[in-house]
Structure 1
Amino acid sequence: MEINWSKARILLAVKAAIAVAIAWFVAPYMPGVADEYPYYAPLGALVSMYPTLMGSVKAGLQTLAGLLVGVLLAGAVVVFVQPNLVTIPLVVGIAVLLSGIGALGYGRDYVPMAALFVLIIGGQDAEDYSIGYAVQMAVGVGCGLLVNALIWPPLNFSAAVLQLSRFRTMLASHLEGLAAALTEEWPPEPEAWTRYNSDISTTGHEVRQAVYHADESRKGNPRARRLNRDVGTDYQTLRALETVAFHVKDITDVLAGAGGLKPLSGELPDGLFEPLSDTLCSAADILHAWESGDDDLPERLQAAEEQLDGLLQAVDARTDAGAGALSPAASVATSVRRIIETVRIATGTDEDADKDDEAA
């Protein structure tokens, strides 16, 4: 079993320990009946501990909301009847139904838990117990939020940048693998091509999660003001890469069919293997240029378009092979064109070209 020893996880563990210690120290000083239930304050601190500041705020408030719903439900029962073998299961069942309220989020599990605690532990002192329980949980949540806000609130920008970079590189490598298979190891190995598309889907999900967490980490975070990063650009890059990934997976499926791995189409005509391979290499090349930030990206885009035109000319020259044999190459050409246009728009290269034309 692997343990996550990352710096972010260690920092979270240290902050959780500090928050619990502060909550346990403060809890006995609460006024009224709340000082009789100090053990709920550390629990409140724990439930509010999340990797991002906004996540902590959301978790803490939603937990308190769920707890309040459970307490009120149990209190309504205690007012009219005594907790017994019938009322306790009934209240828990209703609480579980209420926990399905979407707005409760992290607090959904605390609805039946709070109701059960009030009925069983509170008993005859359900009112005092409910007040003490709610107050101490709120104290703990407050301690957790304070610690998370003051002690190095995390920003996940670097993780998002690294994941986006990884995604770009993976898509380029995948295209290069397809290009190599066309000229070196045709037909392709079924296991490798199946793994390609599966890896792209998995990586795409991980990248989206990383960008989302980066966005969440900046909300309400005082450190975000100093860094002043535009996460909206990361989302635009992500959407562009997801579009590229869609077309790369489509190319994989088309060529898998042409290679006999799927019943999509017939064999490719011999004269199209090299133009297809070169076209895929050119598509991979523009992704590498985008990743490295090369200034010659416009030239590489232009080269990719010229390579694509060469493929289409090769397809036109083999009309005698029939539509069924030519359809895979035509489909790949369409996908590559979409990739080129997506990269143009994502990098603003189309705007640069327009400005150059106007200046000329």
Structure 2
Amino acid sequence: MRLSPSLDPRRWWHDAISADRLLLAAKTAAAAALAWYLAPLVPFAQSEYSYYAPLGVLVSMYPTVARSATSGAQAVVGLALGIGLGLGSLAVVGAGLARIVAVAIVILIGVLLAGVRALGVGRDWVAIAGLFVLLLGGADPDGYSSSYLITMAFGVLVGVAVNLVVVPPLRITRADDRLAQLRDELGAALHRIADSLAGHAFDPDAADRATAGLTGTLADVREEVELADESRRYNPRGRRLQAPRDLNRRRLDALTGTADATRELSASLSRLTAGPDVETRIPDDARRALAGAIEAVSRLVTTPPDPDATAEQLDEAERALTAYTDRLRALAAPEEPLDAWEAAVSLRRVIAACGPFSDPDADTATR
């Protein structure tokens, strides 16, 4: 039995000790210690609640500076709402309401407020903060509440500051690597399709397997690209980059279109080569021309987005596709299969997706 990649312990270990995760863990540990050490000096907060400062660091430490700032602010807002909810519940308890009923009300309202998406990660803190104030506020609920909120906010500030100052994370290189990996996988899939078609050995099942894995890879790469874009926001290291901010997103869009077209090409060829009358539907010379066009397109896909190199491969792919469509037009009308033209349309989509990277004025070259 083969484990899913998400359940593979080796994947867990790799994710846990990656360079980015080790750096984040070290920065979080240092920020938490610093926040706990400085917390007794925070004005308007009682020093006995200094342990909330490291907690504030934890809720604000994320792989990017932008997400640290946003999540930290959302957590503070959620805490403020929860503290207000807890103080309100203490007021009604003082008026005679049973504490067990107040607990139920705090949880009820806190869970309802957790449905407000605008609160982001702060949604999870509304009910928790309200419950803490209600049950732990003791004889000084105002002092506890203000200390809780101020100390947590201080921890958030320390966490964001450390994340910004100490090697602010920048995920551009990792996104570049994942995009290059996806590009190579797409090119390899097209090459295998061309090779099998040229050898009269097109296997629809093998082609399906080659393209089926692209969906999961695309999802992983899309997440990495979004994280890379996010890592440039508020990041002083990101300002020094020469590459356009949206370059990786444009590369991802092109590769997404290429993956969709590759799946459509595989489906067209499966129908085209099914049955014993393949030579009738697509004669040998047209089949070889199609295999040549697919091979030329695979080389175009695997070419790094450099304008000169891409332009050369683009011209080659255009010529190969034109040679194939000319062969199709030369066929007698009854012999002109629709699936053969659908294959040409799929290849045209790939060429169109790669086209912008051949323009030297489009600012699409990699760093």
Q: Which residue of 1 aligns with 2:87?
A: 75
Shift of 1:311: 1.5
Structure 2 residue identity aligned to 1:212: E
Structure 2 residue identity aligned to 1:49: M
Distance 1:85 1:320 in 2: 82
Structure 2 residue identity aligned to 1:64: V
Q: Please, which of 128, 131, 139 is the counterpart of residue 113 of structure 1?
A: 128
Distance 1:155 1:186 in 2: 46
Structure 1 unpaired stretches of 5+: 352-360
Q: Which residue of 2 aligns with 1:357?
A: none
Runs of 4+ in 1 over 4 A off after TM superposition: 265-268, 320-323
Give the stretch that moved more between structures: 296-305 or 232-241.
296-305
Structure 2 residue identity aligned to 1:279: A
Question: CA 1:123/1:194 → structure 2, altered by over 3 Å: closer, same or farther?
Answer: farther
Distance 1:335 1:35 in 2: 67
Shift of 1:137: 0.5
Q: Which residue of 2 aligns with 1:307?
A: 320
Task: Provide, for residues 156-178 of structure 1, a one-character-per-residue CA deviation record: whole Å limited to 9, x for no partner.
Answer: 11112112212221111111111
CA contact (8 A) 2:52 2:151 kept: yes
Distance 1:266 1:22 in 2: 75
Question: CA 1:267/1:200 → structure 2, altered by over 3 Å: closer, same or farther?
Answer: farther
Distance 2:79 2:121 in 1: 11
Task: Provide, for residues 24-46 of structure 1, a one-character-per-residue CA deviation record: whole Å limited to 9, x for no partner.
Answer: 10122234453221111111111
Q: SS where residue 152 of structure 1 aligns?
A: coil
Distance 1:140 1:347 in 2: 49
Question: CA 1:22/1:316 → structure 2, altered by over 3 Å: closer, same or farther?
Answer: same
Q: Which residue of 1 aligns with 2:296?
A: 282
Shift of 1:23: 1.1
Distance 1:167 1:235 in 2: 13
1:165-314 to 2 correspondences below 5 Å: 165-184=180-199, 186-188=201-203, 190=205, 192-260=206-274, 268-271=281-284, 272-289=286-303, 291=304, 293=306, 295-314=308-327
Structure 2 residue identity aligned to 1:216: E
Q: SS where residue 154 of structure 1 aligns?
A: coil
Q: Which residue of 2 aligns with 1:19?
A: 31
Q: Percent identity of the aligned residues?
A: 34
Q: Which residue of 1 aligns with 2:165?
A: 150
Q: Which residue of 2 aligns with 1:342?
A: 353
CA contact (8 A) 2:133 2:145 kept: yes
Structure 2 unpaired stretches of 5+: 1-8, 363-367
Distance 1:287 1:135 in 2: 54
Shift of 1:187: 4.1
Question: CA 1:297/1:51 → structure 2, altered by over 3 Å: closer, same or farther?
Answer: closer
1:36-47 to 2 correspondences below 5 Å: 36-47=48-59
Q: SS where residue 222 of structure 1 aligns?
A: coil
Q: Aligned pair 1:63/2:75, yes or no?
A: yes
Distance 2:361 2:332 in 1: 33
Question: CA 1:349/1:35 → structure 2, altered by over 3 Å: closer, same or farther?
Answer: closer
CA contact (8 A) 2:297 2:347 kept: yes
Distance 2:55 2:116 in 1: 23
Question: CA 1:259/1:106 → structure 2, altered by over 3 Å: closer, same or farther?
Answer: farther
Distance 1:294 1:320 in 2: 39
Distance 1:266 1:35 in 2: 85
RMSD of equivalent CA atoms: 2.5
CA contact (8 A) 1:275 1:310 kept: yes
Structure 1 residue identity aligned to 2:328: V
Distance 1:27 1:198 in 2: 53
Q: Which residue of 2 aligns with 1:6?
A: 18
CA contact (8 A) 1:44 1:137 kept: yes
